[in-house]
Amino acid sequence: MRAYYNHTGFVFRITDDEMPGLQYLEIPDTSAIAPSLNSGLVPVVRDGQLRFEPNRAALMKAIREKRSELLQEADARVCMLHDQALIAGTEVDQDTRLALAVYRQGLRDIPETTNPSAVVWPQKSW
């Protein structure tokens, strides 16, 4: 069995067929392939070995969904604070406004994370 892969290591085909001119890795033991693929892992070639890694696109989708939930929660907190201040005829505390703004910006910066397996989420400071 052969795993054909591109220059980044992404495996695009696992087959017994010959595909002349393409990079491949011989796979002596194919027993881990089906369970790994069925669990959502993606086959890649790293350091001459076939490995199965988490699907980056699926990880990023889950991260964006969590980030959206946290942003909605923070937005609701901002609205509540502004409503309370308006009713009381006061202003929202400057430190609280700054803490919320920093937290929300930290959430918006999350998609820039290069390693979706090690996301550092901003901490709520209010």
Q: What is the DSSP string of 83-106?
A: HHHHHHT----HHHHHHHHHHHHH
Domain boundaries, the chain: 2-53, 57-118
Cα distance between residue 100 and residue 75, in whole Å: 9
Reported as a single tens digit per residue, the pLDDT across 1-12 is 999 999 999 999
Q: Which residue has the tokens 């892992």?
A: 41
Cα distance between residue 67 and residue 106, in whole Å: 10
| Cα four-point dihedral sign 88, 89, 94, 98 | positive
Say what the pTM is: 0.67
Reported as a single tens digit per residue, the pLDDT across 12-64 is 999 999 999 999 999 998 898 999 998 889 999 999 999 999 888 888 988 99
Q: Shortest CA distance to 23 belongs to which of 13, 33, 38?
A: 13
Q: Which two tokens stand for residue 124?
A: 């709520």
